Amino acid sequence: MSAPVTIEVLDGVADIVMCRGERGNAIDLDLARGLRAAARTCQGENVRAVLLRGEGRSFCVGGDLREFSSLRGEALKKHLTEVTDALHGALRIFALMDAPLVAQVQGAVAGAGVGLAAAADLTVAADDATFVLAYTGIGYSPDAGVTWSLPRLVGPKRALELLLTNRRISAREAADLGLVTSVVAAGRLPEEARRMATALTLGATKAIGATRRLVSAALSGDLDRHLDREARSLTETAASPEGVEGVAAFLGKRPALFSSPRPTE
């Protein structure tokens, strides 16, 4: 039986693949645990960017409803607790790591799949991708950070419209709303997503990590505390090897050499 999630680190890019393509990469307990294990690997020093993608026609159609429907009552509650514990554990790690996260999105993106796409720093979608929340349509409330990320990306009114009506939107509308970074022809999707991830490996990873955490904190904190947080982060990144190299390169009018990705062992 093949692993539900694979990860390969090459030249600084951690390539994470959800491998249930025949089921639309529906998230069952094994896949959720696989994502958490892959996220833990991404905390290593040799990872400078993460590319998250799904095999087959769809990125991720959400939770595995066939698995969920086989359970009832307390057994279902226990199972969903285990699934969300693993999936949310992966999202927590992705949010706190230095390496930026790129999502490569195609086909159907539903439920928790939207949560994974929204969690990425950069999300590139094929022009055939469609997005639908679907939770309330089956009597579920959302998970995968959707009620946290979606209002911040598209605004609370639009988020509620999408969550309550389960209206399906195109990749173009998703980009217009701010859920997707860019839209490309389906045939160019792997190339463009890989280009994005590879370009990020050349950046100052510590500064990138600090920046992504600052942006996240800014959306939920007050200005006074946030200014203090910015000041502390600036002093730390400026004094780091990457900060010293960045300034030296700027003053020397040369490209900065932030990274020399370790070869994969």
Residue 16: inside a domain? yes
Instruction: Please indicate, yes or no, whether residues 228 and 144 belong to a single structural domain of this protein.
Output: no
Q: What would the pLDDT profile of 204-248 be if each residue is shown by its tens digit?
A: 999 999 999 999 988 877 778 767 877 788 778 877 888 888 888
Q: Which among 31, 51, 32, 33 is positioned nearest to 42, based on CA atoms?
A: 51
Domain that holds residue 240: 205-251
The H or E element containing residue 88 is helix 73-96
Instruction: Please indicate, yes or no, whether residues 86 and 135 belong to a single structural domain of this protein.
Output: yes
Residue 56: inside a domain? yes
Q: Does residue 262 have a pLDDT over 80?
A: no
Instruction: Please indicate, yes or no, whether residues 93 and 164 belong to a single structural domain of this protein.
Output: yes
Question: What domain count does the chain have?
Answer: 2
Q: What would the pLDDT profile of 174-212 be if each residue is shown by its tens digit?
A: 999 999 999 999 999 999 999 999 999 999 999 999 999
Instruction: Please indicate, yes or no, whether residues 189 and 110 belong to a single structural domain of this protein.
Output: yes
CB 71 within 8 A of CB 20: no
Residue 153: inside a domain? yes
17-26 burial: b if 16+ Cβ within 10 Å, else e: bbbbeebbbb
Residue 85: give its domain's CATH number.
3.90.226.10
pLDDT confidence tier of residue 260, bands split at 50, 70 and 90: low
Cα angle 170, 6, 199 (rounded to 5 degrees) comes to 65
Instruction: Please indicate, yes or no, whether residues 132 and 89 belong to a single structural domain of this protein.
Output: yes
**The tokens of 43 are what?**
């905390």
Q: How far apart are CA 170 and CA 127, in angstroms?
A: 8
Q: Does residue 1 have a pLDDT over 80?
A: no
Strand residue runs (E) in the chain: 5-10, 13-18, 49-54, 101-105, 108-110, 122-126, 130-132, 169-170, 182-184
Instruction: Please indicate, yes or no, whether residues 124 and 49 belong to a single structural domain of this protein.
Output: yes
Instruction: Please indicate, yes or no, whether residues 13 and 59 belong to a single structural domain of this protein.
Output: yes
Instruction: Compute the Cα dihedral for 71, 73, 75, 80 and give only its sign.
Output: positive
> Mean per-residue pLDDT for 109-134?
97
Residue 118: inside a domain? yes
Q: What would the pLDDT profile of 80-120 be if each residue is shown by its tens digit?
A: 999 999 999 999 999 999 999 999 999 999 999 999 999 99
Q: How far apart are CA 120 and CA 179, in angstroms?
A: 10
Residue 256: inside a domain? no
**The tokens of 5 are what?**
């999630």
Q: Which among 89, 94, 101 is positioned nearest to 13, based on CA atoms?
A: 101
Q: Which among 246, 262, 250 is positioned nearest to 203, based on CA atoms?
A: 246
Cα angle 230, 236, 238 (rounded to 5 degrees) comes to 95
Classify burial at 62, counting beta carbons within 10 Å of its beta carbon; exposed 0-12, middle 13-18, buried 19 or more.
Answer: buried
> Mean per-residue pLDDT for 160-166?
96
